[in-house]
Amino acid sequence: MRGVVTLALCALGCAGPPPHPPTAVIDARPAQVCEGDDYATVVELSGARSSNVLSLVPEGADPDAPLAYEWSLEGADYELVSGSLVGPTLSVVTAGDRPLHAGLTVTNADGGHATSTRTVALAECDP
């Protein structure tokens, strides 16, 4: 009878445990741009502190277990200065008309994935 129960449970999903998720971390420098910046300030976005393991205290990525990176940028009009939307770092300039919302999804070799978001705010600056 035990074999029948095991067979029935495996029919429901014996693929094993889900993949271990990584940790996605976004650093943005500067953290804000002036209203009306008009593409003057380069904003560096980095996912380099993302880690292959789930952690509350992010560590550097394990070089033996590479991560895949996928960025999404919304809100402010922007232009890509360097890097790419599928690399660990990129640089952008914005119109300074709205906050820039950056999203980063990292995926490890096991198929686990994690997403993080970060907003580059607008600031009122002296002319």
- pLDDT above 70 (res 35): yes
Output the pTM of the full model.
0.79
Residue 26 counted as domain residue: yes
CA distances from 100 to 4, 61, 86 (A): 56, 25, 18
Q: Are 89 and 99 in contact (CB under 8 A)?
A: no
Residue 25 counted as domain residue: yes
User: pLDDT, tens digit, for every residue of 54-113?
Assistant: 666 555 545 567 899 999 999 999 999 999 999 999 999 999 999 999 999 999 988 889
Which CATH number does the domain housing residue 34 bear?
Answer: 2.60.40.10
Residue 72 counted as domain residue: yes
Q: What is the CA radius of gyration of the chain?
A: 20
Residue 13 counted as domain residue: no
**Number of structural domains in the chain:** 1
- Look-up of token digits 């995926």: 107
Q: Which domain range does residue 119 map to? A: 19-123
Residue 88 counted as domain residue: yes
